[in-house]
Structure 1
């Protein structure tokens, strides 16, 4: 069994600091079957440790079809020939840099394609739009909404979802939002990749497990880490907060009294330890 945790980074201090936490969490849990695969710009990859698998990737946000929508790179990096080697893995976890793995990852081999819990579908207009776009491409939509940004499953299937989602994202950006941004929490350009990944997964994946406890669980929780293999930093200033961490607010804290069996303490512990592994100016 071989697994790949796949992320994209560019030359951005906050992103690289966050990646350091993910890297350090993988080191901490000592997973024997998991590689960290980092797609990124050449400058960013110079700062990534050499025991990661590093793949230089030319960002896709410049072509006109993506209209400087930089989030496309998080899925687009899995689509080209440079990513074909990923199909040598059994599982891919396609995720964001601001995440952590916990020891529960070492026994997390779900039977079905598993995603976290998203929150981008909040009204009937958005639901109707997503099904309309699926119909435009002659794709099935099984009615699964609010899929999280992290996808975990068969390597080839995750890549197929990303390939189709990249095409759909271009359509959404150029057709649906050609005249404006829309408005959150309704139909909104800023989550175009989330819309596209939902449509692609509903088409390709026969059985989708939506499990917000296993995938993309919040880093500020006071729950035990035991049932949460993958943690995600949401938009909060509560500990653990990626914003507070990248701003240096935790730098003078001690790890001595942290309880690493609790999610927020675990994340803080890993983040502080990452300063020793992952040096970013």
Structure 2
């Protein structure tokens, strides 16, 4: 009898344990079939600082030279927001660009091939992937659709599922440090599981037409119209929305434009803004796709004022997460800036440098933003600041221009000679003085073993790059010679833009060398840290120097 009682007790205990395990599983593990963003933010707030929100800013980049210059402004804003520690360590933002050639050649050298994005990076990284020619040809009559089509490539699908968030943007976007607060749910603007820029793309005629087209094609429309081009969504959702958008886009471009279409008899073949205009077809079809995909949960709360914030806004920068330089004449106007930059580049170098030196606005604005961030930290995260969105973009845009003209020494001028080398030359007085100081300070312990071959490694060396820690482009005629490069760069800059772009596109050496260095690093890791490699110091510097030149000419759209 006692044995039976013990057996029943054990059985009851087992059933209780099974029941507890069941409820724990139900409670902690959500349904994986949901397309909602499955970040548990309540857990993030209670976990350690090691918790990182991984976000990918994704875009396509056309070969249009103006677009390349705009991308460099986006890139600079992405780099700038890395200054806001510790938030920039809690929110890791990668930049992924699908570039139509030859725009890939004009990216910063820090952008790596997307194939290297196999695992989580510990630092924010820029990646690029060449946009398939097939995609470009497929949409050659409406290239804006490539900004959606790249989301359906296998390269995109293979790399983005590890991210918590996808921020899809256009190339004329700018990131605000407010984005870090937004993604951490520490911003006055609420973060939802899906968010879109809230700028309209038409009038009542447009809205009614889109609603009717959606109904005709069998799609649900929840009446949410003010959806601009920026999406902040779950990775899987970005693919699903893109798939619908492409499908609907083909229909609109083939069947919904021209005077033969009912209701458009009085409009030109490509329509007329703001009624019905072919130029924003990608926005029309994305609106239908988003309304259908999220029906009925999509509401006006998902139209975010923090995304697609207007570039001419005089509101505080901290109100915005993402800024869009739209087609608008107000300051900041990307078109007016383009005209002013063109005039600036025509000036003599000495005049440009003088104007740059007297323009304290640029650096003062960027310094003030850092200062405001420190105040926000001191005030327990209370968001406030006086720097406007407009001033932030203006400062970034001119700083980009100054840096790019400096990178290629635009308007090269001869430097005056000083003294006579190698006997006694005023130009190396700092070396003479430092030599005496170092010998005195470290006497008598200083020896020849402290003269390192890994430092001040000569730039023309044909030794493996991995032998050097620090490389010095000395005054020397051997390749790599900074003087010969300067002369070649001068001749390169004199060429017409189309010829420069053609030469750049045919120069596979530059990107091949930089890719090979990454490959050699992977091999060193596999070989337990054994240092070896075939890329030479000379080739490394040559590749970097030309990539810098290509990127700089792209950054200012040098014509």
Please confirm whether the aligned pair reaches a TM-score higher than 0.5, indicating the same fold.
yes
Higher normalized contact order (CA 8 Å, seq sep 6+, divided by chain length): 1
Q: Does 1:197 align with 2:286?
A: yes
| Contact kept? 2:179, 2:322, Cα under 8 Å | yes
> Using the alignment, how far apart are the partners of 2:328 and 2:342 within structure 1?
14
Q: Deviations over 1:26-83 (max 9, x none)?
A: 11111341011001113111111233210111253533xx461111011111112121
The 1:67–1:25 alpha-carbon spacing in structure 2 relative to 1, beyond 3 Å, is closer
For residue 139 of structure 1, report the CA deviation from its aligned partner. 1.9
Q: Give the alignment of 1:237-252 within 5 angstroms.
A: 237-247=329-339, 248=341, 251=344, 252=355
Distance in 1 (alpha carbons) for counterparts of 2:363 and 2:234: 40
- Which runs of 5 or more structure 1 residues have no equivalent in the other structure? none
When normalised by structure 1's length, the TM-score is: 0.91
Deviation at 1:246, TM superposition (A): 2.5
Q: Partners in 2 of 1:264 and 1:166 — Cα distance?
A: 34
TM-score under structure 2 length normalisation: 0.47
What corresponds to 2:137 in structure 1? 62
Q: Superposed, which structure 2 residues align to 1:33-182 within 5 Å? A: 33-49=92-108, 50-51=110-111, 52-58=126-132, 60-63=135-138, 66=139, 68-84=141-157, 85-109=159-183, 110-123=191-204, 125-177=205-257, 180-182=269-271
User: Per the alignment, do residues 167 and 41 of structure 1 end up closer, same or farther by CA in structure 2, a change over 3 Å counting?
Assistant: same
Cα deviation code 1:223-275 (max 9, x no counterpart)? 21111111111223333221122231695552245454221111112112223
Q: Which has the higher helix share?
A: 2
| Bigger radius of gyration | 2
Tell me how far 1:212 sits from its aligned partner.
Answer: 4.6
| Distance apart, 1:191 and its partner CA | 1.3
Give the paired residue count: 278
Give per-residue Cα distances to partners, 1:5-40, cap 9 Å, x unaligned.
111112222111111111111111113410110011
Q: Gaps spanning 5+ residues in structure 2: where?
A: 1-52, 83-87, 112-125, 184-190, 261-268, 345-354, 370-386, 405-550
Cα-Cα RMSD:
2.1
**Normalized per residue, which structure has more strand?**
1
> Is residue 240–residue 264 contact of structure 1 (8 Å, CA) maintained in 2?
yes
Match of 1:267 among 379, 393, 402: 393
| Deviation sequence 1:135-190 (CA, Å, 0-9, x none) | 23322111111211111111111221112101111110001115521222112222
